[in-house]
Structure 1
């Protein structure tokens, strides 16, 4: 089951990050670069670092210059995250390239990798909600609320994991087929973001 492997790798990545718990900690990916596991670990590491960048940037007293630098770092992280998801989908496309879809085969609402992306984020929500549920300095009301939310998140992970495994089994059996669409993010592309390309051309060139 791919979900069991992914969930274990995500938990390991999150645990590894929190050894130092710093956004500039270098990644130490334990898996060979040509393996799916390498991509899954990398994906979650990016998500974990970005999770904490999002925490930092929400500090009300943050210096504006620091906030701007963090915003640009988050934008770059989002692009990297998207790239890794597309690499994972490329892996699955290659994995099932020889499968001939049945005549009744249908297209899923999202690709396997984007579902795995949600599983990675869920792993982070579960980790941090568990931290909140186990705090010794919080009120009983806070702890009870977090414990209830944690239960929901764990159930959500169970359901999503089963759905991912079922989707991949259906693809393997030809019951479903997959397409991988590039996300075509525009804000980082100097040729597609008007703010960037107008600076390159000297403005709107209005008469």
Structure 2
């Protein structure tokens, strides 16, 4: 099943990141550039780095200048994340382009790649909640709470994985069809963001 492969790659990416556990470490992708595995690994690496950006920026003692630099990195990371989702959806569009769509076919509320995006984030939640549930310096109460949360996350993983695989199966059989609306983010555009537009003309 596709979801099983994707989650395995997400775990591989997360594990590799945490060998050094540094947001500025170099990145290398072990999968061929023209493969879906390459896109999945890259997608999760972006998510993993951003996860840790979000931890760092919440440091109450962070210097304002450093926080601003980090905010810019988070913005760039969000853009990269969205780009990767589009690349993954493009893969599925190409893969299923010759499928004959049933007359009563329906469209899903989200594209396959956005569901996979949720699975990538979920892999990170599971990894870090497992860390919390197995800490040796935490109270019994903390460990118990985290174990219960971890159980819920694992149940969510099962449900989301089934939903992703069912969606892909329905698209492959023509029961559902997919459309991709390209991102129309306005805040990064010099013409659409009034602040950037004003700055560019001054």
Same fold (TM over 0.5): yes
Q: Work out the number of aligned pairs and report it.
A: 202
> Corresponding residue for 2:36?
36
Please identify runs of 4+ aligned residues in structure 1 that moved more than 6 A. Answer: none
> Corresponding residue for 2:13?
13
> Could you tell me how far 1:187 is from its partner in structure 2?
1.3
TM-score for both structures, normalised by structure 2:
0.99
Partners of 2:80 and 2:187 lie apart in 1 by 13
> Corresponding residue for 1:132?
132
Partners of 2:47 and 2:200 lie apart in 1 by 32
Give unmatched runs, 5+ long, in structure 1. Answer: 203-207
Partners of 2:159 and 2:25 lie apart in 1 by 32
> Could you tell me how far 1:201 is from its partner in structure 2?
2.0
Partners of 1:39 and 1:26 lie apart in 2 by 17
> After superposition, what is the alpha-carbon deviation per residue over 1:136-166, rounded to whole angstroms, capped at 9, x for unaligned?
1111111000000000000001100000000
Give unmatched runs, 5+ long, in structure 2. Answer: none
> Corresponding residue for 1:27?
27
> Corresponding residue for 2:185?
185
> Corresponding residue for 2:4?
4
Partners of 1:171 and 1:164 lie apart in 2 by 11
TM-score for both structures, normalised by structure 1:
0.97
> Corresponding residue for 1:101?
101
Partners of 1:76 and 1:191 lie apart in 2 by 18
> After superposition, what is the alpha-carbon deviation per residue over 1:76-123, rounded to whole angstroms, capped at 9, x for unaligned?
000000000000000000000000110010000000000000000000
- Write out aligned runs for 1:58-207 (5 A): 58-202=58-202
> After superposition, what is the alpha-carbon deviation per residue over 1:32-80, rounded to whole angstroms, capped at 9, x for unaligned?
0000000000000000000000000000000000000000000000000
